Amino acid sequence: MCVGVPMQVISVDGDDIIAEVDGVKRSASLMMLGDEVKVGDFLIIHAGFAISKLDEDEARETLELMREHFSEEDMA
């Protein structure tokens, strides 16, 4: 299964970022995203690319749903 994950931007260097969620850091490209991005923004990261921007409440809600779903899936 391929899943885009909400992550918070912790550094920006041109078209490259470092984003973090739950202590896990990943680099990603902004090539596919037309929005201006700054440290603290939340983005959906998929396959090394930022594919959309979302607000903090949306990101936290999505992460909570993902955590619930994947922990239930692990128990099955």
Integer angstrom CA distances of residue 47 from 56, 66, 71? 21, 17, 22
User: Quick one: how far is CA 8 from the chain centroid?
Assistant: 6
Under 8 Å between Cβ of 18 and 25: yes
**pTM given for the model:** 0.86
Is the pLDDT confidence value at 74 over 60? no
Using alpha carbons only, give the angle 8, 14, 2 rounded to the nearest 5 degrees.
Answer: 45
User: Does the structural domain 5-75 have CATH classification 3.40.50.720?
Assistant: no
pLDDT category at 71 given cuts 50, 70, 90 is confident
Q: Average pLDDT in the 1-23 region? A: 93
Q: Summarize pLDDT for 17-70 with one digit per residue, the tens.
A: 999 999 999 999 999 998 899 999 999 999 999 999 999 999 999 999 988 888
Query: Which phi and psi angles does 72 have, rounded to 5°?
Result: -65, -40
Q: Dihedrals φ, ψ of 70, to 5°?
A: -70, -30
